[in-house]
Amino acid sequence: MDFDLRAGTAVLERTPQTMRAMLAGLPPAWIDGTEGPDTWSPYVIMGHLIHGERTDWVPRARIILAQGEDRRFVPFDRFAQLREAKQSLGDLLDEFAALRAENLRTLEGWRLTGEQLAWEGEHPELGRVTLRQLLATWVAHDLGHIAQTARVMAKQYREAVGPWRAYLPVMDR
């Protein structure tokens, strides 16, 4: 499937409500469970998504669109959320929804052309990447973390399901 601005945006605008539907109001054991040491809970994943809205997707798109001399992205800190002050999960869900809505208004305001989608920036490790690839990655990154959230939650019942574990591939992914 090729990246299409409208179809991609359709996913981006659904992610806040998906995370809210899945997580809001759940008992803490679901929100704070992980897959083991140094893996992320749904709570930490929400912080990571917020950090991406602030420092990754739109700021990098701006660098590409400016077409300046230096098109190198600022490295993204995948662990920033682990150092941030603790907010409630409800606050994180609200903050993510607000930041995402604002970023989608910015994206829409650009009225990007096919030509612009082919413009390039420089990823600090991956090298030259296009705006189209950046936006497709924004979408896939959301979906990856929705999948991760559900997987992390499922694993909390790895023992509780007893022999059914053999029929639940999510337990061992």
Nearer to a second copy (CB atom), residue 103 or residue 138: 138
173 binds a second copy (CB under 8 A): yes
CA distance 65 to 153: 39
CA distance 27 to 141: 26
Nearer to a second copy (CB atom), residue 87 or residue 165: 165
Per-residue contact flags (x/-) with a second copy for residues 68 to 107, judged by CB under 8 A: ----------------------------------------
Least Å from the CB of residue 145 to a second copy? 8
136 binds a second copy (CB under 8 A): yes
Per-residue contact flags (x/-) with a second copy for residues 7 to 46, judged by CB under 8 A: x--xx--x--xx-xxx--xxx-xx--x-------------
Contacts of 113 (CB under 8 A, 6+ apart): none
Residues 138-157 contacting a second copy, CB under 8 A = 139-141, 143-144, 146-148, 150-151, 153-154, 156-157
Give the binding site for a second copy (CB under 8 A).
1-4, 6-7, 10-11, 14, 17-18, 20-22, 25-27, 29-30, 33, 123, 126-127, 129-130, 132-134, 136-137, 139-141, 143-144, 146-148, 150-151, 153-154, 156-157, 160-164, 166-171, 173
